Structures are given as structure tokens and as C-alpha cells.
Structure 1
Amino acid sequence: MHQALLIPEVLLEIFVHVTETILKPFGPAGNIVILLYRESLAALATTCKAFHDPAMDLLWGEIDIESLLGCVTRLHPLMYCSGRLWNWAEGVRPLSADEVHQFLLIPAELYDFPRLKSLTISTKYLNLFLSHTLHRRYLVTVDEDLRSIVTCCATLEHLNVITPDAANAIDSTSDALSRISDIVRSCKQLVTLSCPLFDWAAWRHLSNLPTLTRLDVGDTRSDPAPPWPLERDIANFSPFSNITALSFLLHSAAYAITVMQHSQFPSLKEFKMDVDFLPLPEAEQLFRALSNCKACETLEKIRVYSSYHKYDPQNNSLSAIPHFHCFTHLRTLHLACFDFCINLDDNILLEAMSTWPHMHDLEIDDLRLHHSPITFRGIFTAIRLCPQLHTLRVPIDSTTFNIDVEPTQHTFLRVLELKTPMFQIANAEALARIIFSCLPRIDRILGSIQCDWDEVNMHIKSLKDAALHVTGAASNT
């Protein structure tokens, strides 16, 4: 055996590479793949003494306790024979002390598993299966046992806290959210966090964590307002120095706006907001706060969605796009805000594209579909400024064919969706010829109603078929 293989750290790196090679093509969900992964580690552990400890570190680094519950005589038929699948444990009483010992060598507390780094378990069983060596990932549900995690998750790197869905939520009180905040503040080495709402003390803690790179905050409660005042005891947070991805899933944007107004994210690359209602005043506050969060040199992806329509015709237009001009490295911008119209015309589009030379995917959903001021001239003028543009989805005035500029060929654009009112496309054949000559990778134009573009797409197909025929004939001569 080579001397390098006698070094545990070297062996561990090799074994990690072997296991990642097994898991990567299929992901961690496939039971057969997981079995192969664990069998490989077990085989390595029994090969020789030098291999034993590194292989065991990986083999017992992650345990899914719920998958082992089938060892309990009472639970086995519920898990595998009842057909209840994922919700088999609903209404089942927790394990007794005697039943815990049916877990082969697993005692009531997992202190005999010093290699344990990752544990997946419902909090219903946390008092029976808990380890102070918990390190990498913990999947939990929010209930009365959540407090018991606090003392043993200081070295967690990945924490995913799951609440019941809104229909079944029975504990969405301030006390439950306070327990979540306790968990967050107890974690000192988090790399990723996916969690319901938590209080400002927890935000302040996270703002100082140099290890944190991803933060997803979601809210499944039916009450759109958090149970604490948004402005109480809040001051500017320390910079979230290494966060690259930040997302919110909320009923109301007020919570996220407050966070953004008091925060800096100098390394942020991706921002996502999915909110039920986003009225115009809150949208303007959100976009302004985002533009002031010190991410102008780093932010590459912005996605903002509102789910429901509460359109106010008296106050319905927002100049949203200029708020994003400062993000000169922007590659993706998706805005789908249905509570107001996004003020977008040829001039605004041209100015925006001139500040986003790296734009790859631009999608704007606008309520003002029936009288969009964007024209074909604006489209063809703007895309020249973004040579890497792959996808463009915008509303357009399809009744005016006013391409009075010489379109240049754009060889990168692959997806073109022009959302139009239900009017006939003007000069369909002429437009198809321009698309064919200037956008060679576009096979068809998409629309909010596909029949809008049927005639144009028919001409594009005919032109491509004719060109293919000519090319084939020339190659045969």
C-alpha cells in the first residue's frame, strides 16, 4: 500500500470523491443509490485498519432516523405495509424507552455516535435521538420539542426548518416564532439557512456570521403580519458579508422591506421575492432598498413575483426599471407584479439594456398589456446592446410595424416571447423575414395566447425549410 494511503486525511478526501461520484448522477433521493453508497463505505471500512476510521466517519456522518424507525416492531407495518407513505407517523404515539432499544445498537441518546454530522428526524422524536456532534444538516418541523435542539446545534452548517402548511398550522404564535429565533441564534457556523420568520435579534446574529452564504426566509402562516412590531428594537445590521443568495416567500412584503432597509449585502448575487400582494408603494420601497444594499457590483439575478391581482386604476404605474440600473452585472431580471403596471417603453428599455451588457434572461409581465408602448423598433434596437441575451419576454404593441432601423443579426437569442393583446399581427410575412435573417436561432415567437403568432411562425418555418432545402441541394452537388 502506498504511504499516502496511511494518512487519514488523504483517505477521507478519496472516499468523499468516491461517494460523490456515486450520488451525483442521481441525487440523494434514490433509495437504491443510497444503498449502494452505504454499501461502498461499509466495504471500504472492512478492507483494512487504515481504511476503517475514514470510511466510518462518512458512513455514520449522516443518519436518517425516521428511515430506521422500521426496526421498531410496532412501527414497521405502519411504515411499509399500510400504504400511508410519507404521513405514516401522523397520530402515532412517540417511542417508549423499551422501543428505543430495538434500534440495534442505538441507545436512547446518540452520544455513542461521535461521527454523526447530519441527522434527519421529526421533532416528535428529538427527546430520544439527539446528538451533541450534530454538524451538517438538520431537517425539523416546528412543534413543542423545537427548544431541545438549541443546546446541540452550535456547529450546524445547514439548517432547514419546516413549518406545517397553512391549512394544518396549529402553532404560528409568537412563542413558536421565538423558538425558531432561539435556534437561529444558537447556530454559530451556518452556511445555509431555510427558515420561517424570525425576530430582529436573530437577524442581527446572522448579519455577523462570516460562514453564511445562503438565506431563504419563508412564511406559511395565514396571518400576513409578524407577531412583533417591525420597527421595535431594530438598528442597522452588520453587513451580511458573504451571503450570495437571499430569498423571501411572504404574504406581505413589509417584513422583507424592513430587513432590506437596515442591511447591506456586499456579496449578494441572487435576490428573489415571492409575495402574495405587492401594492405599488411597497414595490417602490422594496426596489429602492434593494438598489441601496451595496450589491451593485455583484448582483446577477433578480426575481420578484406577486401572486394576486389587486389592481388600483387610480395609482397604477411605477417606473421600476431605473431602480435596477446600478446593477451593471445583472444577467437575469424577472418582474411579474400584478398589482400595478411597470412603466416600460422603448426609451426605458433601451436605457436599461445599455446598462446591462451581460443580460441573459429578461422577463417583464405588465398589466398594461392592451396598450403596451414597446414596439418592434424598440425591441430590435435594444437587443443589439446585449450580445449574450438568451431569453426575452416582454409585452409589445403588435399593431404597429415600425422597424425604421436596420436590424443587426443577434446569434445568441433563443427564446422570444412577445405578449400581445388579441389583435392581428401587422405585416406577419415581413416580420417573419426579419426574424429569420436577424434572429437565426429563433424558431418561433411565443405569446400569451399562442394563436397570436401563428401566422408569423408559419412564415418563419417556411423560410427555414426553404433555406434547409437549398443547403441540402448545394451539399449534394
Structure 2
Amino acid sequence: MSVSYPQKPYLRYSQLSVNIPTLMIQLQPLQRTCRTFKEPALDVLWKGVNGFKTLLSCLPKGVFTRTSEGKLSLTHPLFTGEWNTLNQYARRIHFPRICCSNLNDISDRVVQALIFAPPLLPNLRSLQWLDNRGFLPLLHTLLIPTTRSMILGQYNYWDPSFVKSALLASLGARCPSIQKLRADVEGGSDAMSEVICGWRNLIYLNTGVLDTRALAHLASLSSLKSLHFISYDYVDDTPRNVHFLGCRSAVLSMDDSDSQLPYDPDIPDLIVSLSECFPAALEKLSIQVQVDPDDLRHHHFSFVFDVIAPLLSFSCLRKLDLDWLCTTDIDDDALKSMAQSWPQLEIFRFGAATALLDSPSATFTGFIHLIRYCRHLHEIMMYFRACPIDINSEPFSKTIPNENITYIEVGDSPIVDSIAVACQIHSLLPSLSHVDYGYWVWMWALEQPSIIALEDEWNRVNQYLRVLTKGAEIREKMGELSQECSLTA
């Protein structure tokens, strides 16, 4: 069998890296056996590296050693020739990821040597530093002008300290061209706000508390598409008289766990403020509120539909996350208006806190309105009264089944006639095989008889859904076999 080869004995880098995950196993022997492919293969292999262990293992055997704790260490400071050896590989690293375990694997000697290194990763483009402890001098050595994207910290906010504020303050000078930043910082908010005011190309920002000047600067950036920040006050810290015209995603995190009730006058004002600050083209809106769970047992988070109505102007919404709201006063007609106003919705999280209050006004009919008018939905989290309805009447009879929806969470929604509810859910959502429930109930309510009864009912719904889904799969398979038999007959 003859084999034809390309005329040019090389591939462009872009051609080589099309299927990186499937090529990684072949690339290592390729870069060792084929001189033509060596450089592009090495570029792909080293493009993204976790930690420093892999890089340091390129040093001669007599240079690195292990401590009694098993940490990677050095026998002596690195000399020019050894730095040159490392640079052969370090210059290829564009997207390093450094987490707690990576830093736990290296000794103080390694940290000290890397701090005094020549530019360690001279072509770094995106940095993930997923550690909330020390090692800040080492992090500081990685901050270079070529950096465009950065993640600092993970899950828990950095504890406030002067050294952390100083590091944040240096970001503006060391990384002047940042486009995407996630900085999980609680302390140093003044430094962060000051640095942000110097960046002109921000596309994505996820950080802590921002002052008025920083918010005004962000509003002036036509490049900004996604904004996520923290406020400790519903009114004073929210944007005022600023307009994020280019923003398509907004996430506001609020912490009032230490505040005093009541909250009633603030939330409506917040909703109005957000509706005025962000453009009608907004695609994602999430308001995350951290409160004491016991406060949700009161009615301070329960609002009528008029409070939510200003958000209806966001006609391009694809994701809405207001799961902390109490929706006892949001009925089926209100849900219909919301569904008709947001036809592009893909994710709908609304009204989790209602589970701790009165019975919801919304019924299964309101749930069906969402399915009918939001054809792109694939995830729903809401609280409603799940009672079967007349399948020959609207909106059930006019609703086309949605095969995209594969996840539903209902909390402790009350339910009547679990068999009928399961059948109607399956007819409208044929791809759904399971309903999540009960996750919004706090520990003090878990042993209540009414909660236990609800869990039993939703368990039955899931049992029926599994049977109905399996039956549909069998019927589909039998239909395929029948079609094959008719074609071969």
C-alpha cells in the first residue's frame, strides 16, 4: 500500500494543537523521535503545567533532592547554566495552574530559589494561583506584563493583611494589560479599587468590594462584559448613576448575616438600581445574598411581583438567579409574564427561600408557563404547588414538550397525587428522569412530619419518572428495530 506524504515536512502549530487531549500521549515520544516535530510538540506539552514539580524535574539529578517529608528540595542555589536549562521549558509555559497541593510539594529552599530567579515564566498569559495562604513573594515573581488573565484565591477569601494589600496594589504596574481577573479577596478592597481604575481593557471582573470610583470607571469601559462584585449594604454600596452599557453578565454578592432586620425597604430599591444600571441586552443576572438561615423564616424577603417587574426589561436574559427570594406572592400570571419577557432563558433559579414560609401562590400551571414560553430552558429551580391539572386545557394542551430540560430542583414544594404529577412532568419533559427536592430545608425542619411526608411523595415521583423514562427508551429502541426490519424485508 502506498502512502502519500505532505509536500512540506512540517505542520503549523495551530494544526498540531487541534486535538490536544487525544494527542498528549503521542506527543511525548514524538518530540523525542522526530526532530521536525520536536519544537511544536514541546510547545503543546508545556503550554499548561500544574505547579513547579514538573519544571524542576528537568534539572540534573544532583541538583534536586527530597526532604524527609518527601518535599522537592535543592542541594544548592541554581546557577546560570541550570537556569538556562529550566528556561528551555519555562518559556513555553503560558497557562500555569498552582494550587495548595503544588505548593505543599516544594520546600522552602525551592521557594527561595524561585523568588530570586530571572523572569521564571517569561511568556505567561494566564495564571491560576489557587491558594489562600502565604507564598506571596513567589506569586509576585510570576506577575509580568504579558499576563492577560488571572485567578487569585479559591473558595475562601484571603484574610486581610498589609502584605496582601501590597501585592494587590502592585498588579496595576506589573500586569497593565489584564483583561480577565478573578480575585477572591476580602481585605485590600481599597487597593483593588485603585488598581481597577488603571485598567482599560477589562472584559471579565470577579472581585470583592468596590468603591464608587471603581464602579464608575468600570461603567466607562466598553470592553466590560461580565461584572461580579460584593456589597455589604443593600443601598449604599450598589451602583448609582452609572450605566454598564457593554455588560452582558452581572453578579452581585451581598452579605447581611451580621446586619439587623428589617430589610424590606432595600431590596426593591436594589432591583430598580440594577434595572437602570445594566442594559436591556443583559444575558446573565445573579444576586447572591448571604443571610442567617433563621432570618428566612420571617417575611423580610417576601415581595410582590411589582418588586421583580423592573427586571422584565432584560429581554435577552439567559440566566436568572434569585434563589434567595421568597415567592409566596408570585402567582401563575406573574410567572407567565416573566416567561414571556425572557424567552431566551436557559437557567431559572427563583424563590428558594419560600420553602421556609407559607404555601406558594404559584402552581403547576406557572411551572408549565416557563416550559411553554422559554424553549431554551435546561435547568429550573423554583418552589410551587405541584398539583395535576386538566391536560385538555391551557397551558398544558398548548405546550410543546421540552427535551432540553434535564435538571429540576423543587425544594420542599407541596405536592398532591404524585403519580399524576410524575406522568404530566414526563409528558412535558421527556428527558427528565429525576427531580431534586428538599435541599432548601434547614436542619431544624428536617424531622417535621410534614417535611417527611413531602419527601415520600417526591420519592414516588422519582420512582415513576424512572419507570416512564425507561419505558420510553424501550419503545424508542423497539421502533428503531421495527424500522430496520421493514427496510430489510
TM-score scaled by structure 1?
0.69
CA contact (8 A) 2:418 2:457 kept: no
Measure, in 2, the Cα distance between the counterparts of 1:56 and 1:314. Answer: 61
Q: Which amino acid in 2 is paired with 1:329?
A: C
SS at match of 2:313: coil
- Residues 194, 255 of structure 1: CA spacing in aligned structure 2 closer, same or farther, 3 A cutoff? farther
CA contact (8 A) 1:19 1:37 kept: no
Alignment size in residue pairs: 426
Measure, in 2, the Cα distance between the counterparts of 1:245 and 1:239. Answer: 14
Match of 2:249 among 266, 270, 277: 270
Q: Residue in 2 aligned with 1:17?
A: 15
Q: Residue in 2 aligned with 1:145?
A: 137
1:128 aligns with 2:117: yes
Q: Which amino acid in 2 is paired with 1:301?
A: K
Identity of aligned residues (%): 18
5+ residue gaps, structure 2, are: 104-110, 186-190, 258-262, 439-453
CA contact (8 A) 1:66 1:120 kept: no
- Residues 127, 133 of structure 1: CA spacing in aligned structure 2 closer, same or farther, 3 A cutoff? same
Post-superposition shift, 1:352?
0.7
5+ residue gaps, structure 1, are: 27-32, 219-225
Q: Residue in 1 aligned with 2:178?
A: 190
Q: Residue in 2 aligned with 1:76?
A: 65
Post-superposition shift, 1:294?
3.5
- Residues 187, 459 of structure 1: CA spacing in aligned structure 2 closer, same or farther, 3 A cutoff? closer
Post-superposition shift, 1:246?
3.4
CA contact (8 A) 1:376 1:396 kept: yes
Post-superposition shift, 1:183?
1.1
Q: Residue in 2 aligned with 1:451?
A: 456
1:106 aligns with 2:83: yes
Post-superposition shift, 1:373?
0.8
SS at match of 1:246: strand
- Over the residues paired in the alignment, what is the CA RMSD in angstroms? 4.7
Measure, in 2, the Cα distance between the counterparts of 1:195 and 1:42. Answer: 40
Match of 2:353 among 364, 367, 374: 367
Q: Residue in 2 aligned with 1:201?
A: 194
TM-score scaled by structure 2?
0.68
1:349 aligns with 2:298: no
SS at match of 2:402: coil
User: Greater shift after overlay, 365-374 or 408-417?
Assistant: 408-417
CA contact (8 A) 2:215 2:242 kept: no
Match of 1:315 among 295, 300, 305: 300
Measure, in 1, the Cα distance between the counterparts of 2:456 and 2:150. Answer: 47
1:244 aligns with 2:233: no
1:412 aligns with 2:393: no
Measure, in 1, the Cα distance between the counterparts of 2:44 and 2:465. Answer: 56
Post-superposition shift, 1:189?
2.6
Post-superposition shift, 1:37?
4.1
Instruction: Please list the CA deviations of residues 94-135 of structure 1 after superposition, one character each: whole Å capped at 9, or x if unmatched.
Output: x68x4313x963159969976665666767532225258344
CA contact (8 A) 2:327 2:360 kept: no
Q: Residue in 2 aligned with 1:29?
A: none
Measure, in 2, the Cα distance between the counterparts of 1:256 and 1:39. Answer: 60
- Residues 441, 127 of structure 1: CA spacing in aligned structure 2 closer, same or farther, 3 A cutoff? same
SS at match of 1:333: strand
Instruction: Please list the CA deviations of residues 5-49 of structure 1 after superposition, one character each: whole Å capped at 9, or x if unmatched.
Output: 78xxxx5xx224323523x359xxxxxx4x7545545655x33xx
- Residues 153, 301 of structure 1: CA spacing in aligned structure 2 closer, same or farther, 3 A cutoff? same
- Residues 192, 264 of structure 1: CA spacing in aligned structure 2 closer, same or farther, 3 A cutoff? same
Measure, in 1, the Cα distance between the counterparts of 2:466 and 2:330. Answer: 31
Q: Which amino acid in 2 is paired with 1:106?
A: W
Measure, in 1, the Cα distance between the counterparts of 2:197 and 2:140. Answer: 22
Q: Residue in 2 aligned with 1:395?
A: 383
CA contact (8 A) 1:243 1:267 kept: yes
SS at match of 1:392: strand
CA contact (8 A) 2:320 2:347 kept: yes
Measure, in 2, the Cα distance between the counterparts of 1:439 and 1:186. Answer: 52
Measure, in 2, the Cα distance between the counterparts of 1:66 and 1:192. Answer: 27
